[in-house]
Structure 1
Amino acid sequence: MKVSSKPRSGEFPTLQKAINSLPVINNCRVVISISAGTYREKVEIPATMAYITLQGAGADKTIIEWGDTADRVENGRQLGTFGSATFAVNSPYFIAKDITFKNKAPLPPSGALGKQAVALRISADTAAFISCKFIGAQDTLYDHIGRHYFKKCYIEGSPAQAPSTWAEHGAISPGWSLLTPTWTRLSPLEDGMTGGDKSREMTVFFGQYKCSGPGADFGGRVAWSRELTEQQAKPFISIGFIDGHEWLLNS
């Protein structure tokens, strides 16, 4: 199955149309090849469409972008952070390779409300992202639910500053593994993980290991942010941390 910005016979002009052509309940691996181009669309994969693989032509060549923010009103209601995502994955066993996911909403002024602008939201178990880029201004990567694997990925944006949505590069959950990342920070890592409660600093944890890019700089960070040693990082960088031996190698 192929998606092209200049479709020929049998090819799809948009990724969402290609996804919509699949069976409502999909339980076999489907590979969708996306040719080079910028695809300006908002994409969502339903919960029942599992085992989808997206193969781009390179993260600098295949770009999926949109520009929603949390305060945008649709059908009488604000989208919220959850609904602002350019690309939303709700099904398990999803794989993306060589693609940029982008929310092109501009960086909001300091203190502005409702400007969360998610590039990608993953709300399902067992997903893998290889050689992908995630670009946004605020809350770029919403790692919502499940076990996820990121390898050779670039993540750019500012952190979500709340106890339940934390990270240097967006909102993430405990079950994830990130290898050879490069990240760019648009604002400092402040005290969002503690909610301003100093007593929580006794148990809060934020560790970084062999990261590169401007966002990896420790300047201006909270005191409890730390660089991990190889021994400290070992439990977190093994695929065993996300039970990868059960699903990742077969993906």
Structure 2
Amino acid sequence: MVCRERVKIPQEKGPITLQGSGAGKTKITYDLDAEKVGKSTLKSASVSVKSDYFIAKDISFENTSPSPDPGAVGKQAVALEISGDKAAFYRCGFLGYQDTLYDRYGRHYFKDCYIRGTIDFIFGNGQSYYEDCTLESVAKTFGSLAAQKRLSKSEDTGYSFVDCKVKGTGYLYLSRAWGPYSRVVFIRTYFADIIRPEGWYNWGVPGREKTVFYGEYKCFGPGANRKGREVWCYELSDKQVKPFLTVDWIDGKDWLPKGKQ
């Protein structure tokens, strides 16, 4: 079943569960980009979720706005924006190009999901845990997997990718420092041969490399060679990685559904 419409779930409507028949069978899709909606990335979203305790299973979210040329302006096109707290996604697809998944605010869990894009295709200031997810770049040239926007040292936000797989095309940064205290880690993740040797980018803002927290832990594959990595990103020690290893990173034991989902 394909549903072509924009879906907005306001804060007061939670908790809500969306149950599909499989990410390849059930899809919510639309085709706006930021240029069409007042240059607003947020308003381009096919699906926008602001309620807490949102759950999605076996469904895809898509923005079919065409893949932009490198450097194009106003072509951000969000498939799903999540700014509610304590949200969980199981076996879901997120399909787009630039700015596919707006992981904006709140604590979120992604399990066995597929996320596709070109540049900054997971972005925002969420505090999120991605487990056993496939992240596929369809970039024609350069791109970036993530762009995390942590704004201060006191914020608990950041993205942890655990036991994931990065594949596809292009020449990618693992993350760009959208915020001055951007925080992203990859743990036991497979990197195909599409990762730039330097790995990470400071957004072109001098000094930002002194405040971000970027790290890799026991990652593998042809793109995981750390020769050439920026000196300001970490090869994480057992102690450094511990806060990011489990769903404790998002206080998940307190709110995630129990049992098999």
User: What is the TM-score when the length of structure 1 is the normalising length?
Assistant: 0.71
What are the within-5 Å matches in structure 2 for residues 154-165 of structure 1? Answer: 154-160=114-120
Partner of 1:83: 43
Shift of 1:195: 2.9
Shift of 1:205: 2.4
Partner of 1:243: 251
Distance 1:230 1:153, change over 3 A: farther
2:141 equivalent to 1:189: no
Instruction: Give the Cα–Cα distance (whole angstroms) in 2 for the partners of residues 238 and 170 of structure 1.
Output: 20
Partner of 1:18: none
What are the within-5 Å matches in structure 2 for residues 51-90 of structure 1? Answer: 51-73=15-37, 78=38, 80-90=40-50
Partner of 2:124: 172
Residue correspondences, number: 201
**Residue 180 of structure 1 contacts residue 211 of structure 1 at CA under 8 Å; is this kept in 2?**
no
Q: Percent identity?
A: 45
Instruction: Give the Cα–Cα distance (whole angstroms) in 1 for the partners of residues 28 and 125 of structure 2.
Output: 23
Shift of 1:59: 0.5
Partner of 1:19: none
Partner of 2:154: none
Read off the aligned partner of 2:129 and give its amino acid letter: S
Distance 1:65 1:190, change over 3 A: same
Distance 1:182 1:58, change over 3 A: same
Distance 1:228 1:66, change over 3 A: farther
The more displaced of 151-160 and 124-133 is 151-160
Shift of 1:240: 1.2
Cα RMSD, aligned residues only: 2.8
Shift of 1:113: 0.6
**Residue 97 of structure 2 contacts residue 119 of structure 2 at CA under 8 Å; is this kept in 1?**
no
- Offset from partner CA, 1:62-83 (integer Å, 9 cap, x none): 111111000104xxxx151011
Distance 1:171 1:45, change over 3 A: same
**Residue 102 of structure 1 contacts residue 135 of structure 1 at CA under 8 Å; is this kept in 2?**
yes
- Offset from partner CA, 1:22-61 (integer Å, 9 cap, x none): xxxxxxxxxxxxxxx1111111111110110011000011
Instruction: Give the Cα–Cα distance (whole angstroms) in 2 for the partners of residues 178 and 218 of structure 1.
Output: 18
Where in structure 2 are there 5+ consecutive unaligned residues? 144-171, 178-201
- Offset from partner CA, 1:171-205 (integer Å, 9 cap, x none): 13241111011101222228841331232213322
Greater per-residue strand proportion: 2
Larger radius of gyration: 1
Distance 1:190 1:114, change over 3 A: farther
- Offset from partner CA, 1:118-151 (integer Å, 9 cap, x none): 0000011110000101010100000111000101
Shift of 1:227: 6.3
Distance 1:119 1:232, change over 3 A: same
